[in-house]
Amino acid sequence: MSLQSKMKQIITSSTLSPKQKTLFLSLEAEAIVDYMSVSDEILEAKNEGIICDMFEGNAPFKPRYVLPDYAKYLQNGSSYLELEPAKNLDDALNALTIIYHHVPSVTNYPVYIGQLDDLLLPFINRESETDIYNKLKRFWIMLDRTLPDAFMHANIGPTDNIICRTILKIDAELKQVAPNLTFMYDAEVSPISLLEQACQNICECSKPHIANYPMFKDTFGKQGFGIVSCYNSLPLAGGANTLVRLNLKAAAEKATDVDNFINQVLPHYCQMTFGLIEARSTFLHEESNFFNSFLVQEQLIDENRFAPMFGIYGMAEAVNLLLEKSGSTEKYGQSDSANALALSITQLLSDIVTNTPVKYGYNQRALLHSQGGISCDQNVTPGIRIPYGTEPDPVLHIKALAAHHQYYLSGISDILTIDETIKQNPLAMVTLCKGALSMGFREFTANVHSNDLVRVTGYMIKLSDVAKFKEEGSRTNTTWLGSEASEQTDILKRLPRVLSHEQTPHYSHLSIEI
């Protein structure tokens, strides 16, 4: 289809809103620009689908993800936005509402809206609990209605406070697609009652993610971090300049056996991935002029705190292919030998990423990322996940993947789909969550099978929105991604597993701490 035909199709669409048409037209315009200069070898790997630039544009003019220091903004105000420092909760909520419209990302919407309890607690004066609830509820509704993108992400916790508790209460009541939400859990700080509330929320609306806060804190240190978009962890006051991903399945297809893959094929395509990372980040930092923006001038972001994300996906298919080539019928997620091979691949990837300098990185390094897939992926499993429809018992599922989590510093996630009977036994969700975190999970995420609001790769959709999307469209920008994913990938084949009172001792027996 010609460019003119594509644009005419967008303009005349009966299901896209005017703002959505503008967004899609802008993407087509970006695609007109010549691709930045890369080697023929990199271009070949990209064209073969072995490495992927995540459709960030042929010449990136904004980082993939931006994490402003909103606390500094609220404290200092903004010359560019002509705003005084916030003095009370109303000022703070208004100031945040304004700046969100000026924070870019690959989605054209902010993917990080802050550690909201830390941001807002200093501005609570004499408001009653009812006042706080009403103001935050209006704020939450505003976010979903004016920034209707499921990659917008808020963080709360690990401390127990009225903002954290109220946001959890509101999110369970409203069951909105946006914003996405992560609760930071720290067993030394967070009371069990707060974790119970977060797990009850999962039963109600499949949110929040529950992050292993000490693991993240150790990775990023005192300058801090945020969890953004799906589940991506990045330096605060920085972000990700680009995300390039490596298709392990496609790479494994090039290998003759396991040794060939480990010693030659994988290192080769890692270098191709780094080549594309360097080209994309160099253009952004040196030619796009993004780092002349007010966000830099007002010290809300620091160019040195941006890092490229080295993403991988298709671990399951890669392992199964390599074992098949060696004559084995073992399957990833189902056997110790297959899981051991996967872990050795993760460890090699970590070694390569840790020891390869990049020009524009976090301490001159990229960050390894278990990439959650995109809606057009077919016959390949996101990140290191176990293929949908083949998931084992939840505890065995966790044990199969836990050892990987320490290596994926910029984010890793699985989605445990739990049968709706969990709603009669929410403490089993608490037990499972605590066990996963104690075994090394960086982040615990679950869907409840009967919920309308569910996760696709890490972002949220409503199944009811997807059902009527083709006829009516959707005011939420990401519904079309969920619709495409439900048709082209296996997200609807996830196996719901039952957690019952009788199984709780079973979890304890498998060395999951309660």
Give tens-digit pLDDT for 203-234: 999 999 999 999 999 999 888 999 999 999 99
* Non-local CB neighbours of 241 within 8 Å, separated by 6+ positions: 60, 63, 64, 280, 281, 284, 285, 306, 307, 308, 360
The average pLDDT across 170-190 equals 97
Alpha carbon of 204 to those of 196, 423, 451, 455: distances in Å? Answer: 12, 8, 7, 13
Hey, is 138 helix, strand or coil? helix
Give helix 336-355 / helix 315-325 axis angle, nearest 10°.
Answer: 120
* Non-local CB neighbours of 13 within 8 Å, separated by 6+ positions: 21, 473
* Non-local CB neighbours of 7 within 8 Å, separated by 6+ positions: 25, 28
pLDDT tier at 490, thresholds 50, 70, 90: low
Q: What is the pLDDT of residue 493?
A: 65
The average pLDDT across 33-55 equals 95
* 414-436 confidence digits (pLDDT tens): 999 898 999 999 999 999 999 99
- pTM, two decimals, is 0.94
Helix locations, 12-161, DSSP H: 18-32, 40-47, 70-76, 89-100, 116-120, 129-146
Q: What is the pLDDT of residue 480?
A: 64
| Percent of the chain residues past pLDDT 70, beyond the cut | 95
Q: What is the pLDDT of residue 502?
A: 46
pLDDT tier at 375, thresholds 50, 70, 90: confident
Q: What is the pLDDT of residue 406?
A: 98
Domain ranges of the chain: 1-8+16-37, 65-228
